[in-house]
Amino acid sequence: MNVTATPALPLGDDALILSHRLGEWAGRAPVLEEEVALANIALDLLGQARVLLSLAGDEDELAFLREERQFRNLQLVEQPNGDFAHTIARQLYFSTYQELLFEHLAAGESELAPLAAKAVKEVAYHRDHAHQWTLRLGDGTDESHARMQHALDALWRFTGELFEPVEGLEAAPWPTLHDTWTTRITSTLEQATLTVPEGPQRGGWAAGAGRQGLHTEPFGRLLAEMQHLHRSHPGATW
Amino acid sequence: MVTTTALEEELLALAGSVPDPELPVLTLAELGVVRGVQLTAPGRVEVQLTPTYTGCPAIEAMSADIERVLHDHGIPDVEVRTVLSPPWTTDAITAEGRRKLAEFGIAPPRPTGPAGGPVAVDLTIRCPHCGSTDTTLLSRFSSTACKALRRCESCREPFDHFKEL
């Protein structure tokens, strides 16, 4: 498989894997409108993944024929959907990050600029969706508040990795992006009567490891489901 | 400066006359997604098409429809290329396109603010059925990524709103 060394690969993997996770909600979401919303966000991410992975090689080969250690996505996006609060916490952390990074890339001249300029407008809706749900769950019932806080705390240790410089994008202002991200997350959580988690933003065993191809245990099962059909029926079309 | 020949103008009009596969009341020209048509050699044209949303699944059907229309017009070799830059915006939908959307029961997008501004969700959106401005947002995402789902508080009908991008 020919793979070009480009930051489009890790960013494309983020979009692909989160798209797959969100797609797992189909048929299971709490209400029909949310089912449709999550599927639409997944579709936006899949569109991004297709453009980005095509900059790195053949999109289908990259998605369906790589082994776990060859994926460069953040560990955050591969985390299981959990309850609805976990999905929203993951969306809030990731879409806030993605919007900031794509705003930066859209202002540049790299091969990523056209996609970033296009996608940043879509991601603004993803972030707004996560923001509104965080407010509703955090400032809702005791049960929804407790679940949202638990989800935010549980995923916090995967957020440090977001600001490890991506290979090929070392020049991006990572510390500034991190500061702005923290400000935005803090603002949303305060409005939602939630508490910004205090623990470390990474586990000692896996600092920034998704970008190096080290993934968490649930990722293998995600890949098995995502790749099974393509590997069982090579070249199949419909 | 790229000059456009009369034939290219004609082919552009033909490509633009193709109906949108998901909103067949609109043509691709009214949606503002056909960026240009160039004759690159005798019998060979390239068409630039831009997606509304990056993941829009209709883009493949649009490409196939454009190819068919131009083949029927005697162009044997048609290549439809997807371009992302500059990104499509709902401001590219023509006035006629907006009128048709409303007639079809879809509230047209409002003009977008300056780039980088907040996502507008609270300004008045008129019910395409009864014209009332008393409408509320049900979901930011509806039957397709480009629409939001709203309900009219006057006639109680739900409706799609082509959201601003």
pLDDT in tens, chain B (165 residues): 456 789 999 999 999 999 999 889 999 999 999 999 999 999 999 999 999 999 888 999 999 999 999 999 999 999 999 999 999 999 999 999 999 999 999 999 988 765 555 555 456 899 999 999 999 998 888 888 888 999 999 999 999 999 888
Q: Is residue B138 part of a domain?
A: yes
Question: Within this chain, do residues B53 and B107 fall inside the same structural domain, yes or no?
Answer: no
> In chain A, which ranges are continuous DSSP H helix?
8-23, 32-56, 59-64, 75-78, 84-106, 113-138, 142-156, 174-191, 218-232
Please, are residues A67 and A58 in contact by the beta-carbon 8 Å criterion? no
Q: Give the number of residues written for chain B.
A: 165
8 Å CB contact between B45 and B79 = yes
Sheet holding B135-139, edge to edge: B106-107, B158-162, B147-152, B135-139
A48 touches B at CB < 8 Å: yes
**B120 shares a domain with B77:** no
Note whether B14 and B78 are same-domain residues.
yes
Residue of A114, A122, A124 lying closest to B53 (CB–CB): A122
Domain-embedded: residue B134: yes
B78 shares its domain with B128: no
The answer to the question of residue B87 being in a domain is no
What is the pLDDT averaged over residues A113-127?
96
**Residue B124 domain flag:** yes
Residues B71 and B11 in one domain: yes
> Which of B57, B82, B107 is a domain's end point?
B82
Based on the fold, state whether residues B67 and B128 are members of the same structural domain.
no
Residue B84: its pLDDT value, please? 93
Measured between alpha carbons, how far is A192 from B121 in angstroms, rounded to an integer? 19
Could you tell me if residue B123 is inside a domain? Answer: yes
The residue among B1 and A142 whose pLDDT is bigger is A142
Mean of pLDDT over chain A = 94
The answer on B109 and B56 residing in a single domain is no
Q: Which domain holds residue B147?
A: 94-162
Q: What is the mean pLDDT of residues A75-90?
A: 97
Cα–Cα dist A50/A43, whole Å: 11
CB atoms within 10 A of CB A83: 13
- HSE-up of residue B20 (Cα within 13 Å, Cβ side): 22
Subunit contact B88:A45, Cβ cutoff 8 A: no
Tell me, what's the pLDDT at B145?
81
Q: How is chain A split into domains, by residue range?
A: 8-232
Its ipTM equals 0.83
* Residues A117, B51: C-beta atoms closer than 8 Å: no
Both tokens of B129, joined, read 């059925």
Per-residue pLDDT at B119: 56
For chain B, say whether A128 makes contact (Cβ under 8 Å).
yes
Please report the pLDDT score of residue A160 as a whole number: 92
B-chain CB neighbours of A51 within 8 Å are: 54, 84
Boundary residue ending a domain (B19, B51, B82): B82
Residues A39-53, mean pLDDT to the nearest whole number: 96
Closest CB to A33: pick one of B55, B85, B138. Answer: B138
b/e for A14-30, b at 16 or more Cβ within 10 A?
bbbbbbbbbbebeeebe
Q: How confident is the model at residue A202 (pLDDT cuts 50, 70, 90)?
A: confident
CA distance A7 to chain B (A): 18
How many C-beta atoms lie closer than 10 Å to residue B127's C-beta? 24
Percent of chain A with pLDDT over 70: 98
Average pLDDT of A196-206?
79
CATH top class, domain A8-232: mainly alpha
- Count of domains for chain B: 2
Structure-block tokens of residue A3: 């793979």
Domain C-terminal end among B50, B82, B114: B82
Are A130 and A151 in contact, with CB atoms under 8 Å apart? no
